[in-house]
Chain A
């Protein structure tokens, strides 16, 4: 049967109420005929308009209901960690509410979570076109770019998110984005780019928010910004002096800053279980040892400084002797040997020569000699490390720490 049968049906087969055109056209419209038809059309139009409005409203309600239902399913799936199911649910939701930016955004997040970065980026880019300053969209794009190893885009979107529009608690949201950016940069070992954001992060951390201060301290610690990290931890400890994370962080920062007695103090305040944990335990003992050996610490009484210096000298002398024995060098040097003395032999001789001068009693009476004694001890440890490798005993390691901190420039 031909599809265009309707056009060729003979007039006698047409329905009675359907007049063929030539016949219609031949008839002259009666007076007021067109007016009557137009009025009828207008009435029909109004009725149809009302009817269409009614069903369109029902239709939109249905779409919204189904869309919301699928969206809720998607949310539940996301919470359950089923990102692929969530993607399907969000897609279904978008069929019914295609212009819902929230749905699009969540679909993009689900797609990103399911590893479909390209699709996620596509949705997010569309959303960004609609609202270029949106903080959440920029953040999502930054995460997608970061997962795609596109660091320049990631940093650009992170910064756009930091300065973007956030509806709820914008200060907090921006701080969180900066924290994420800092972590991203630190993961990439990009300390140079991370520095300004870390500084801003510490400065913008709400003073009464200990968690933020602690996080800032942790990140500063990861970036080796010891003094800023210590300051951040101190701010936390000022509010809660028993905060274990802050104590550990502060101890670590103080340790790196060669503030061994402070470090030991922070570690000591830790609960025993935390203090016994592997990295902290070692740092604690070492900082304690270094603290008890460091005669140069300001504020020490002369007798205490003398006692610490004598201990350091003993450790240094032992290190020289041990190292010389390891290397097969003879101590003390025999006077008739033609070969020039080694570094160890020279140091040993210096120690012997100054033994009386650097006695505990003498040092207590002449505090100016404490510096010379400690310099000798540090030098001995440095030579020992150079000649015989890293120190093995706790005392040697402590003295080595003092030596390296003495050699370090005052800045971080």
Chain B
């Protein structure tokens, strides 16, 4: 029998009658070596894949960064201050090419990449066509390299997700795993682009997945770490920015960071509102204008670049200069404004590219500017302008992208300095709350909604109040019987209740539900009988009052009632939960929420 025929017969269950040892050997032979190494479960394979995805994403990001550098060198030259005709021609002329590529060759490469990845997870089960990766690579390299005010991080995130999706599809993973592998790749791409694995993991959890799932967390971490290692292999392990040594700020100086937080919140608000207002109008322009928009944006950025070449491209080196306090407060403020303008124009034109680097740039300039002004009025402030610039990066990251946790870790990772952690916490939370108060929808959620997609808002989900068992449980309506209790007494009590539920506490932690009809029938017998003679169902599942209502719903399909017991004493009944009670509680909560609105 050939191997194929043998395996076919094995799957069909047509095994010849053989001894058990032979059957075992045949079963062993029917497993592939992958299955023998990893077992039958897909989870182990998923972890291996996470590493693979990380390495591929790391390689892609390395090539992407090299491509951007080469394009910049070719189009703008090697100087930080490109000459006059070049500074206008490079982004404008390349803009025409970008428009053609986006419209005809890579239409899916539009946008920053973050909300596209999120849409892939929630709308198409993690499906990202591979030409998106290619398109993102080519078009973003041209755009950023030619000087458009956009960054490489978000595209890297989408490229990582696209690579992961492709590998997952090739391996014919289950639908659930393919949906999960895209965020894994996203974390890998972002980690390699930022050289910051922790904040990338946090960002993907905070912004893309929106939940701390142990199942995917391990894979995301593995992918992020392997991509960063791969990237460092080729490009070095240095932090993105070199921060001067900064002393920890004095307690009173946190007021200065609070001021920065307010400034960051207002700036975030202005930026978001502008994009929210202008984007639908620009998208509604006639189709022929879309051929020209990237070129027009390039022209505007180029004109700004004549006087302020710092705004061209991602601007990491300029951030580095700001961190070293190389600019006056006037220049810092002007650069923050000019970068905001240039980034908005580039992004609104439909040129593919990321918002992370420009956000960091604007934040650094704003932070440095605010710090320098505060230094002017309060010379006793010991913190350097560079430190304010560093904190400003995290502040705008928290306020504009609305990822306050990621912003703290991002600042620590990109700078390699822990001194800024507390100031960033203060200022980014203030910026976040200001932005949240006056702009309900976060940037990426707003962009997807403008595109007609309603994706789950992680921010809204994060702020939803948990609906717990204790919100729906009833403390009355059930009474507890012991095995030795008299049936006559139990029947009398049950007769007094409109909806009698009699729970039998058999022993510590074991609860059963007595059949009320049987109880009433047996109680009419002349002979004295006890509760343990009545027919009962169980043992019942147990719930605790702080568990989620989803946990209760798992059991209420099988049981009419589930006891809610004390965690310290499983024999102590705190209440019961029933399906009608859950429905009632949910309706009540909804009506209360509506009243509040």
Q: Is the CB of A4 within 8 A of B111?
A: yes
Given the known inter-chain contacts A4-B116, A4-B451, A59-B69, please indicate yes or no for A25 contacting B172, CB distance below 8 A: yes
Q: Is the CB of B63 within 8 A of A21?
A: no
Sort chain A's interface into a size bin. Answer: 35 or more
Q: Is the CB of B172 within 8 A of A122?
A: no
Given the known inter-chain contacts A92-B78, A125-B244, please indicate yes or no for A2 contacting B386, CB distance below 8 A: no
Q: Is the CB of B324 within 8 A of A94?
A: no
The secondary-structure label for the interface of chain B is helix
Tell me, in angstroms, the Cα distance from A56 to B325 when the chains sit together: 31
Tell me, in angstroms, the Cα distance from A88 to B80 when the chains sit together: 8
Tell me, in angstroms, the Cα distance from A41 to B170 when the chains sit together: 10
Interface membership of chain A positions 40-81, coded 1 if the CB is closer than 8 angstroms to chain B and 0 otherwise = 110001001101110110010011001001100000000000
Q: Which of A41, A59, A98, A118 contacts B238 (CB 8 A)?
A: A98
Q: Is the CB of A7 within 8 A of B59?
A: no
Q: Which of B79, B128, B452 contacts A6 (CB 8 A)?
A: B128
Interface membership of chain A positions 104-132, coded 1 if the CB is closer than 8 angstroms to chain B and 0 otherwise = 00000001000010110011011011000
Tell me, in angstroms, the Cα distance from A100 to B55 when the chains sit together: 28
Using CB atoms, name the residue of chain A closest to B385: A118
Interface membership of chain B positions 445-463, coded 1 if the CB is closer than 8 angstroms to chain A and 0 otherwise = 0011001110000000000
Which residues 75-99 in B have Cβ within 8 Å of A in the complex? Answer: 78-81
Q: Is the CB of A41 within 8 A of B167?
A: yes
Residues of chain A within 8 A (CB-CB) of B55 are 45
Q: Is the CB of B56 within 8 A of A56?
A: no
Q: Which of A15, A37, A63, A91 contacts B129 (CB 8 A)?
A: A15
> Is B378 part of the contact surface with A, judged by Cβ < 8 Å?
no
Q: Is the CB of B290 within 8 A of A1?
A: yes
Interface membership of chain A positions 1-41, coded 1 if the CB is closer than 8 angstroms to chain B and 0 otherwise = 11111111000001100111110110111011111011011
Tell me, in angstroms, the Cα distance from A275 to B169 when the chains sit together: 96
Q: Is the CB of A7 within 8 A of B119?
A: yes
Residues of chain B within 8 A (CB-CB) of A19 are 169
Q: Is the CB of B131 within 8 A of A15?
A: yes
Tell me, in angstroms, the Cα distance from A126 to B416 when the chains sit together: 13
Tell me, in angstroms, the Cα distance from A3 to B118 when the chains sit together: 12
Using CB atoms, name the residue of chain A closest to B112: A3
Given the known inter-chain contacts A4-B119, A38-B34, please indicate yes or no for A24 contacting B169, CB distance below 8 A: yes
Smallest beta-carbon distance B137→chain A, Å: 13
Smallest beta-carbon distance A37→chain B, Å: 5
Tell me, in angstroms, the Cα distance from A2 to B111 when the chains sit together: 9
> Is B66 part of the contact surface with A, judged by Cβ < 8 Å?
yes
> Is B130 part of the contact surface with A, judged by Cβ < 8 Å?
yes
Interface membership of chain B positions 149-173, coded 1 if the CB is closer than 8 angstroms to chain A and 0 otherwise = 0000000000000000001011111
Sort chain B's interface into a size bin. Answer: 35 or more
Tell me, in angstroms, the Cα distance from A28 to B115 when the chains sit together: 31
Given the known inter-chain contacts A7-B119, A49-B59, please indicate yes or no for A98 contacting B320, CB distance below 8 A: yes
Using CB atoms, name the residue of chain A closest to B110: A3
> Is B405 part of the contact surface with A, judged by Cβ < 8 Å?
no
Which residues 253-303 in B have Cβ within 8 Å of A in the complex? Answer: 283, 290
Smallest beta-carbon distance A259→chain B, Å: 53
Residues of chain A within 8 A (CB-CB) of B325 are 118-119, 122
> Is A96 part of the contact surface with B, judged by Cβ < 8 Å?
yes
> Is B7 part of the contact surface with A, judged by Cβ < 8 Å?
yes
Given the known inter-chain contacts A34-B172, A37-B170, A119-B324, please indicate yes or no for A52 contacting B234, CB distance below 8 A: yes
Q: Is the CB of B178 within 8 A of A24?
A: yes
Q: Is the CB of A21 within 8 A of B178?
A: yes
Tell me, in angstroms, the Cα distance from A15 to B79 when the chains sit together: 43
> Is A95 part of the contact surface with B, judged by Cβ < 8 Å?
yes
> Is A169 part of the contact surface with B, judged by Cβ < 8 Å?
no
Q: Is the CB of A34 within 8 A of B34?
A: yes
Interface membership of chain B positions 213-254, coded 1 if the CB is closer than 8 angstroms to chain A and 0 otherwise = 000000000000000000000111010001111000000000
Residues of chain B within 8 A (CB-CB) of A32 are 32
Given the known inter-chain contacts A1-B283, A3-B116, please indicate yes or no for A20 contacting B244, CB distance below 8 A: no
Q: Is the CB of B244 within 8 A of A2?
A: no
Tell me, in angstroms, the Cα distance from A29 to B452 when the chains sit together: 35
Q: Is the CB of B175 within 8 A of A25?
A: yes
Using CB atoms, name the residue of chain B closest to A8: B123
Central interface residue in A1, A49, A94, A116, by most chain B CB within 10 Å: A1
Q: Is the CB of B386 within 8 A of A122?
A: yes
Given the known inter-chain contacts A34-B32, A52-B59, A95-B317, please indicate yes or no for A41 contacting B80, CB distance below 8 A: no
> Is A368 part of the contact surface with B, judged by Cβ < 8 Å?
no
Residues of chain A within 8 A (CB-CB) of B326 are 111, 116, 119, 122
Residues of chain A within 8 A (CB-CB) of B107 are 1, 5-6
Smallest beta-carbon distance A354→chain B, Å: 72
> Is A187 part of the contact surface with B, judged by Cβ < 8 Å?
no
Q: Which of A2, A21, A70, A92 contacts B125 (CB 8 A)?
A: A21
Residues of chain B within 8 A (CB-CB) of A63 are 69
Smallest beta-carbon distance B324→chain A, Å: 4
> Is A99 part of the contact surface with B, judged by Cβ < 8 Å?
yes
Tell me, in angstroms, the Cα distance from A249 to B80 when the chains sit together: 53
Q: Is the CB of A8 within 8 A of B244?
A: no
Q: Is the CB of B171 within 8 A of A92?
A: no
Residues of chain A within 8 A (CB-CB) of B245 are 125-126, 128-129
Q: Is the CB of A55 within 8 A of B66?
A: yes
Given the known inter-chain contacts A7-B116, A59-B70, please indicate yes or no for A35 contacting B32, CB distance below 8 A: yes
Tell me, in angstroms, the Cα distance from A166 to B235 when the chains sit together: 31
Tell me, in angstroms, the Cα distance from A29 to B111 when the chains sit together: 34
> Is B132 part of the contact surface with A, judged by Cβ < 8 Å?
yes
Tell me, in angstroms, the Cα distance from A24 to B453 when the chains sit together: 24
Tell me, in angstroms, the Cα distance from A244 to B548 when the chains sit together: 97
Residues of chain A within 8 A (CB-CB) of B447 are 3
> Is B212 part of the contact surface with A, judged by Cβ < 8 Å?
no
Q: Which of A22, A24, A52, A62 contacts B62 (CB 8 A)?
A: A52
Residues of chain B within 8 A (CB-CB) of A35 are 32-34
Tell me, in angstroms, the Cα distance from A21 to B70 when the chains sit together: 36
Interface membership of chain A positions 361-400, coded 1 if the CB is closer than 8 angstroms to chain B and 0 otherwise = 0000000000000000000000000000000000000000
Given the known inter-chain contacts A35-B32, A118-B325, please indicate yes or no for A25 contacting B244, CB distance below 8 A: no
Q: Is the CB of A6 within 8 A of B132?
A: yes
Tell me, in angstroms, the Cα distance from A116 to B69 when the chains sit together: 30
Residues of chain B within 8 A (CB-CB) of A48 are 56, 59
Q: Which of A7, A119, A122 contacts B120 (CB 8 A)?
A: A7
Interface membership of chain B positions 11-29, coded 1 if the CB is closer than 8 angstroms to chain A and 0 otherwise = 0000000000000000000
Q: Is the CB of B119 within 8 A of A122?
A: no
Residues of chain B within 8 A (CB-CB) of A116 are 326
Using CB atoms, name the residue of chain A closest to B450: A2
Tell me, in angstroms, the Cα distance from A282 to B548 when the chains sit together: 103
Smallest beta-carbon distance B182→chain A, Å: 10
Q: Is the CB of A29 within 8 A of B172?
A: yes
Given the known inter-chain contacts A1-B290, A6-B132, A7-B124, please indicate yes or no for A62 contacting B73, CB distance below 8 A: yes
List 26 A-B pairs, Cβ < 8 Å: A4-B119, A4-B448, A5-B107, A8-B453, A14-B129, A18-B127, A20-B127, A22-B125, A25-B175, A29-B172, A31-B7, A32-B32, A33-B172, A34-B171, A37-B170, A41-B170, A45-B52, A51-B63, A56-B235, A59-B66, A70-B78, A94-B317, A98-B242, A118-B325, A119-B325, A123-B244
Q: Kindly list the 6 A-B residue pairs having the minimum CB-CB distance in the complex, ordered from nearest.
A: A3-B111, A6-B108, A25-B175, A2-B451, A56-B234, A7-B119
10 new A-B contacts at CB < 8 Å, known A3-B111, A55-B63, A119-B324: A3-B115, A6-B107, A15-B129, A21-B127, A24-B169, A25-B173, A52-B234, A92-B78, A116-B326, A126-B244
What is the interface of chain A, defined by CB distance below 8 A to chain B? 1-8, 14-15, 18-22, 24-25, 27-29, 31-35, 37-38, 40-41, 45, 48-49, 51-53, 55-56, 59, 62-63, 66, 69-70, 88, 91-92, 94-96, 98-99, 111, 116, 118-119, 122-123, 125-126, 128-129
What is the interface of chain B, defined by CB distance below 8 A to chain A? 7, 32-34, 45, 52, 55-56, 59, 62-63, 66, 69-70, 73, 78-81, 107-108, 110-111, 115-116, 119-120, 123-132, 167, 169-175, 178-179, 234-236, 238, 242-245, 283, 290, 317, 320-321, 324-326, 384-386, 447-448, 451-453
